[in-house]
């Protein structure tokens, strides 16, 4: 499976301009990749104004994602603000060309930014299969909590969609590799670049990491870009068989 990570400079709270900008990165990928990964809140930036910017499920942003998946013959994913019932969620959504859909609500809300005061946390992890790969998605701050993203051989690709700040870029670079090594799986991290409407600068450096913690592709910190890599299930299986660390892993039960 070929995956592509888009690293945009998100226009603050402007969906129309962000769709327009993302379209120019998506067009060259049509027919040339299987899965496109977008950052956290890719249509607005990391805004704490859900009352103004949220959508009900399957509205404007979902419709745009569905259109891109169909036109590009690919799967597309990333997070945006969704109103579901009486609650707001930072929701990661996947849409395929065959109209397969699934979603994950961010579990770990960034309390230091006030996200926990406005959004509701997710309750369950998501695992789904696309192109034969078992995929687990997470959002930004989730990266700091290894128990939540722990796999015991049941995941082939972990995705982190993020708005990760420049001031903590060493954490981003370190933990993405750690999640790949400890779970013996591929990891893809999609981050934004640029500065948002609150004056926060972002680190970029979106990356795709193999199960050994080696970089397959990485973006620069200060430019919009797309990175891609081919992932191999057979190579992943061979590595796990030759170095079966999961046989010695601790057993545990996750209690929410």
Residues 6+ apart with CB under 8 A from 255: none
Q: What is the pLDDT of residues 197-218, one digit of tens each?
A: 999 999 999 999 999 999 999 9
Q: How far is CA 38 from CA 41, 73, 146, 160, 244, in A?
A: 9, 16, 22, 9, 32
H or E segment and range at residue 217: strand 215-218
2-248 in CATH: which number? 3.60.110.10
**Catalytic residue among 40, 55, 115, 205, which?**
40
Our answer to whether residue 106 is catalytic in this structure is yes
Q: What is the pLDDT of residue 255?
A: 73
Interatomic CA distance for residues 125 and 249, integer angstroms: 20
Q: Which ranges of the chain have pLDDT less than 50? A: none
Q: Which of 66, 77, 106, 224 is catalytic?
A: 106
Can 40 be counted among the known catalytic residues?
yes
Quick: pLDDT tens for 134-162: 999 999 999 999 999 999 889 999 999 99
Sequence-distant (6+) residues with CB within 8 A of 42 are 8, 10, 18, 22, 78, 79, 80, 161, 192
- Among the listed residues 140, 155, 185, 224, the single catalytic one is 140
Q: Is position 2 annotated as part of the catalytic site?
A: no
């Amino acid at each position: 499976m070929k995956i592509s990570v888009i690293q945009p400079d998100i226009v603050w709270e402007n969906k129309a301009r962000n769709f327009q900008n993302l379209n120019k990165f998506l067009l060259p990928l049509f027919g040339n990749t299987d899965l496109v990964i977008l950052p956290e809140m890719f249509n607005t930036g990391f805004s704490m104004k859900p009352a103004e910017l949220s959508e009900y499920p399957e509205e404007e942003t979902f419709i745009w994602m569905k259109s891109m998946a169909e036109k590009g013959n690919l799967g597309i994913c990333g997070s945006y603000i969704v109103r579901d019932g009486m609650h707001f969620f930072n929701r990661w959504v996947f849409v395929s060309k065959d109209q397969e859909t699934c979603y994950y609500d961010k579990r770990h809300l960034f309390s230091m930014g006030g996200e926990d005061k406005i959004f509701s946390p997710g309750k369950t992890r998501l695992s789904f299969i696309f192109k034969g790969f078992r995929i687990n998605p997470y959002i930004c701050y989730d990266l700091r909590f290894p128990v939540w993203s722990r796999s015991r051989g049941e995941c082939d690709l972990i995705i982190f969609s993020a708005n990760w700040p420049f001031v903590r870029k060493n954490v981003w670079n370190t933990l993405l590799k750690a999640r790949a090594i400890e779970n013996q799986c591929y990891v893809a991290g999609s981050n934004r670049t640029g500065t948002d409407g609150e004056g926060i600068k972002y680190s970029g450096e979106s990356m795709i990491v193999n199960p050994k913690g080696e970089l397959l592709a990485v973006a620069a910190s200060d430019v919009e870009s797309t990175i891609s890599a081919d992932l191999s299930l057979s190579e992943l299986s061979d590595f796990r068989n030759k170095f079966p660390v999961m046989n010695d892993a601790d057993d545990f039960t996750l209690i929410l």
